[in-house]
Protein backbone atom coordinates (compact mmCIF):
# COMPACT_ATOMS: atom_id res chain seq x y z
CA UNK A 1 0.00 0.00 0.00
CA UNK A 2 1.37 3.39 -0.90
CA UNK A 3 1.90 6.12 1.65
CA UNK A 4 -0.46 8.41 -0.25
CA UNK A 5 -3.24 5.80 -0.19
CA UNK A 6 -2.82 5.17 3.54
CA UNK A 7 -2.84 8.90 4.31
CA UNK A 8 -6.01 9.45 2.28
CA UNK A 9 -7.72 6.57 4.11
CA UNK A 10 -6.79 8.06 7.48
CA UNK A 11 -8.07 11.46 6.36
CA UNK A 12 -11.34 9.92 5.20
CA UNK A 13 -11.75 8.08 8.51
CA UNK A 14 -11.05 11.28 10.48
CA UNK A 15 -13.64 13.21 8.45
CA UNK A 16 -16.21 10.45 9.03
CA UNK A 17 -15.56 10.61 12.80
CA UNK A 18 -16.10 14.37 12.81
CA UNK A 19 -19.39 14.04 10.92
CA UNK A 20 -20.64 11.02 12.89
CA UNK A 21 -22.05 12.96 15.89
CA UNK A 22 -24.64 14.63 13.64
CA UNK A 23 -26.27 11.25 13.12
CA UNK A 24 -27.18 10.94 16.80
CA UNK A 25 -29.01 14.18 17.55
CA UNK A 26 -32.50 14.27 19.10
CA UNK A 27 -34.40 17.55 19.50
CA UNK A 28 -37.51 17.98 21.66
CA UNK A 29 -39.46 21.24 21.83
CA UNK A 30 -41.39 22.04 25.00
CA UNK A 31 -44.14 24.64 24.66
CA UNK A 32 -43.27 27.03 21.85
CA UNK A 33 -39.54 26.49 22.11
CA UNK A 34 -37.01 29.19 22.97
CA UNK A 35 -38.54 32.62 22.35
CA UNK A 36 -35.34 34.70 22.50
CA UNK A 37 -33.43 35.42 19.25
CA UNK A 38 -30.28 34.29 21.09
CA UNK A 39 -31.44 31.62 23.56
CA UNK A 40 -29.66 31.02 26.85
CA UNK A 41 -28.09 27.55 26.92
CA UNK A 42 -27.56 25.17 29.81
CA UNK A 43 -25.93 21.78 29.36
CA UNK A 44 -25.04 18.64 31.24
CA UNK A 45 -23.42 15.31 30.44
CA UNK A 46 -25.05 11.87 30.56
CA UNK A 47 -22.89 8.79 31.08
CA UNK A 48 -23.76 5.25 30.00
CA UNK A 49 -22.17 1.93 30.92
CA UNK A 50 -22.22 -1.46 29.21
CA UNK A 51 -21.74 0.14 25.77
CA UNK A 52 -24.78 2.40 26.13
CA UNK A 53 -27.23 -0.02 27.74
CA UNK A 54 -27.18 1.21 31.36
CA UNK A 55 -27.66 4.90 32.16
CA UNK A 56 -25.31 5.94 34.97
CA UNK A 57 -26.74 9.37 35.81
CA UNK A 58 -30.01 11.20 35.21
CA UNK A 59 -30.04 14.60 33.52
CA UNK A 60 -33.23 16.50 34.31
CA UNK A 61 -34.01 18.85 31.41
CA UNK A 62 -36.73 20.61 33.44
CA UNK A 63 -34.17 21.45 36.10
CA UNK A 64 -31.80 22.77 33.42
CA UNK A 65 -34.65 24.91 32.02
CA UNK A 66 -35.40 26.42 35.43
CA UNK A 67 -38.73 28.28 35.46
CA UNK A 68 -38.98 28.46 31.65
CA UNK A 69 -42.19 27.08 30.13
CA UNK A 70 -40.96 27.25 26.53
CA UNK A 71 -37.62 25.63 25.73
CA UNK A 72 -35.84 23.17 23.44
CA UNK A 73 -33.91 20.09 24.58
CA UNK A 74 -31.16 18.72 22.32
CA UNK A 75 -29.54 15.39 23.16
CA UNK A 76 -26.51 14.59 21.04
CA UNK A 77 -23.02 13.20 20.77
CA UNK A 78 -20.70 16.18 20.34
CA UNK A 79 -17.26 15.81 18.79
CA UNK A 80 -15.79 15.94 22.31
CA UNK A 81 -18.18 13.15 23.39
CA UNK A 82 -17.02 10.99 20.49
CA UNK A 83 -13.34 11.60 21.26
CA UNK A 84 -13.76 10.81 24.97
CA UNK A 85 -15.97 7.79 24.22
CA UNK A 86 -13.33 6.48 21.81
CA UNK A 87 -11.07 5.98 24.83
CA UNK A 88 -13.64 5.06 27.49
CA UNK A 89 -15.54 2.60 25.29
CA UNK A 90 -12.83 0.01 25.89
CA UNK A 91 -14.16 -0.26 29.44
CA UNK A 92 -17.80 0.09 28.25
CA UNK A 93 -18.45 3.79 29.07
CA UNK A 94 -19.99 6.37 26.71
CA UNK A 95 -21.00 9.98 27.24
CA UNK A 96 -23.65 12.20 25.67
CA UNK A 97 -24.45 15.92 25.98
CA UNK A 98 -27.88 17.36 26.83
CA UNK A 99 -28.40 21.04 25.90
CA UNK A 100 -31.41 23.10 26.99
CA UNK A 101 -32.10 26.38 25.17
CA UNK A 102 -34.57 28.79 26.78
**In the chain, which residues have pLDDT < 50?**
none
pLDDT at 35: 87
**Which of 34, 55, 37 is CA-nearest to residue 46?**
55
- Cα–Cα distance between 6 and 74 in angstroms, integer? 37
Task: Write the DSSP symbol of residue 50.
Answer: T
pLDDT at 70: 93
Task: Write the DSSP symbol of residue 16.
Answer: H
Residue 64 belongs to domain spanning = 3-101
Sequence length of the chain is 102
8 Å CB contact between 48 and 56: yes
8 Å CB contact between 56 and 13: no
**Which of 25, 38, 23 is CA-nearest to residue 101?**
38
Number of folded domains that form the chain: 1
Pairing label, strands 26-30, 94-101: unpaired
Amino acid sequence: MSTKGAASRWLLAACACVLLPGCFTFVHTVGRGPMNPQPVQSSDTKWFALWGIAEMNQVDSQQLAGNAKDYRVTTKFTVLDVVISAFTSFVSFYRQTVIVEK
